[in-house]
Amino acid sequence: AQFVTVSAPGYDGDRRIEWPGCQRGAGEDEADDSTVMQVADAGLGLDAAIAGFGIVTVPWLLAERDLTEGRLVAIGEARESRRAFWVVAPTPQWRQKKVKALVAALTAA
């Protein structure tokens, strides 16, 4: 799994769009003054970047189509992720034993 940092074509700022689980590159501070927007997930981060609000680091798989179709441009190269799974579920499902067990098994490695 890879992550890539992206922005709208022509965007030349350094304002960050953050989401839970966002991974920055090596040496980048996890929280700094350049964060301008917090969003709920990577998909909303992509939408915000396309709208020109800033740059966001997302799973490459999620950004691939927007990159190919020119709605986004990559900033630097894609890099290996510290994570290989992304579990997405509505809030009520996170309380279920089976979902908690899955998350525990995936994060125990």
Separation CA 83–CA 68 (nearest Å): 24
Predicted confidence (pLDDT) at residue 77 exceeds the cutoff of 90: yes
Residue-level pLDDT at 85? 63
All structural domains of the chain: 2-84 (3.40.190.10)
Task: Identify the CA nearest to 50 among candidates 68, 70, 36.
Answer: 70
Predicted confidence (pLDDT) at residue 100 exceeds the cutoff of 90: no
Separation CA 17–CA 15 (nearest Å): 7
Separation CA 104–CA 4 (nearest Å): 26
Torsion of CA 49, 59, 80, 32, to 10 degrees: 40
Predicted confidence (pLDDT) at residue 39 exceeds the cutoff of 70: yes
Separation CA 76–CA 24 (nearest Å): 12
